Structure 1
Amino acid sequence: MLKGFKNFVMRGDIVTVAVGLVIALALSTLIKAFTDFVINPIITRAQGGRSMGLGWQLGKPGNRSTYLDLGSFLSAVIYFLIFMAVVYFCVVMPYKHVQARRGQVVFEEPGALKTCPACLSEDLPEAASKCLHCASDQPPAGPARTV
C-alpha cells in the first residue's frame, strides 16, 4: 500500500504541479505587495483631498464599511492581469518551448470547427461524421475552400 502511494506521489506530473503551485503562491504574494503598496497609493492619490481612496461614501463620512472602494477593485484587476501575464510568460511559454524540443505539442490551438446543418451547433470538429448533439450524419469534410 505504501509503495503505491510513493509511486503516485513521485509521478512527474504531480511533482510538476506541486512546484508550479509553490511558484504561483510566491508570485502571488509578490504581485499582491506591488499592487497594495505601489498601485493602491497611486489610485488613492488620483482622487485627491482627504478621501479614503478612489470611490464614494454611501453612508456617514469616515465609515469604512459603507465606502464603495473602486480603487481596491481596480487594483485587484491590475493584480489579476499582472499575475496572469507573469504565469503565461514565465511558466507557460518556457514549458511550451521545452515540450516542443522534446517533440510534444502542448497547449495547441483547437482544430477547425464546423456547424451542424440539422441542429446548428457550432462546436463540431471538421472531421466529425456524426453530430455530438443531435446524432445526425454529417457530410464528409471536403477540400478547403478558397475565396
Structure 2
Amino acid sequence: MIKGFKNFLLRGDVIVVAVGLITALAFSTLIKAFTDFVINPIIARAQGGQSVGLGVQLGAPGNKATYLDFGSFLSALIYFVIFMAVVYFLIVVPYKHTQARRGVTVFGDPGPLKTCPACLAEDLPAGASKCRYCTAEQPAGLGDGMPVR
C-alpha cells in the first residue's frame, strides 16, 4: 500500500501539477500587490477630487455597505486577466511543449462534432452512437449526411 502511494506521488504529472500550483500561488501574490499598489491608485485618481474611489454611493455618504466600488471590481478583473496570462504562458505553454516532445497531446482542439437529429444538440462527438441528452441512436460515421462542425 505504501509502495503504491509512493509511486502515485512520484509520477511526473503529479509533480508538474504541484510545481504549477506553487508557482501560481507565488505569482498570485505578486500580481495582487501590483493591482493593489499600482492599478488601484490609478483607478482612484481617475475619479478625481476627494472621492473614495471609482464608484457610486447609493445610501448615506460614508456608508461602505452601500458604496458600489467599480474601481475594486475593475482591479479584480485586471488581476484575473494578468494572473491567467501568467498561468498560461509560464505553466500551460511549457507543459504543452514538454508533453508534445513525449508524443502526448494536451489542451488540444476538440474533435469534430455532429448534431443530434432528435433533440438538435450540437455538441456530440462525431463517433457517438447515442445522444448524451435524449439517448437517441446516432447513425455511425462522419459520412452519414448529418451536419458536422
TM-score, length of structure 2 as denominator length: 0.86
Percent of aligned pairs sharing the same letter: 70
Per the alignment, do residues 29 and 57 of structure 1 end up closer, same or farther by CA in structure 2, a change over 3 Å counting? same
Aligned to 2:135: 134
Describe how 1:1-147 pairs up with structure 2 within 5 A: 1-132=1-132, 133-138=134-139, 140-142=141-143
Distance 2:119 2:144 in 1: 23
**1:143 positional shift:** 8.6
* 1:68 counterpart SS class: strand
Seen in structure 2, the aligned counterparts of structure 1 residues 39 and 14 have a Cα distance that, compared at 3 Å, is same
Return the structure number with greater relative CO, CA threshold 8 A, min gap 6.
Answer: 2
The DSSP-based 3-state class of the residue aligned with 2:56 is strand
Give CA deviations for 1:82-114 in whole Å, capped at 9, x if unaligned. 111111111111111121122111111001101
Give the TM-score normalised by structure 1: 0.87
CA-CA distance at 1:4 after TM superposition: 3.3
Unaligned stretches of 5+ residues in structure 1: none
Asked if the contact 1:44–1:71 (Cα under 8 Å) also holds between the matched residues in 2, the reply is yes
Name stretches of at least 5 consecutive residues in structure 2 with no aligned partner: none
RMSD over equivalenced CA pairs, Å: 2.1
Higher mean Cα deviation, 27-36 or 113-122? 113-122
After superposing the two structures, state which structure 1 stretch, 84-93 or 44-53, moved more.
84-93
Counterpart-to-counterpart distance in 2, 1:85 and 1:128:
35
SS in 2 for 1:134: coil
Displacement of 1:10 in angstroms is 2.3
Opposite residue 43 of structure 2, the aligned amino acid is I
The 3 A distance-change label for structure 1 pair 9 and 118 is same
Query: 2 CA distance for matches of 1:51 and 1:107?
Result: 46
Cα distance in 1, alignment partners of residues 106 and 140 from structure 2: 30
For residues 27 and 101 of structure 1, the distance between their equivalents in structure 2, rounded to whole angstroms, comes to 27
Q: Cα 1:98–1:8, aligned 2, differ >3 Å: closer, same or farther?
A: closer
Instruction: Please say which of residues 71-80 and 83-92 is displaced more in the overlay.
Output: 83-92
Q: 1:60 to 1:97 in 2, by over 3 A?
A: same
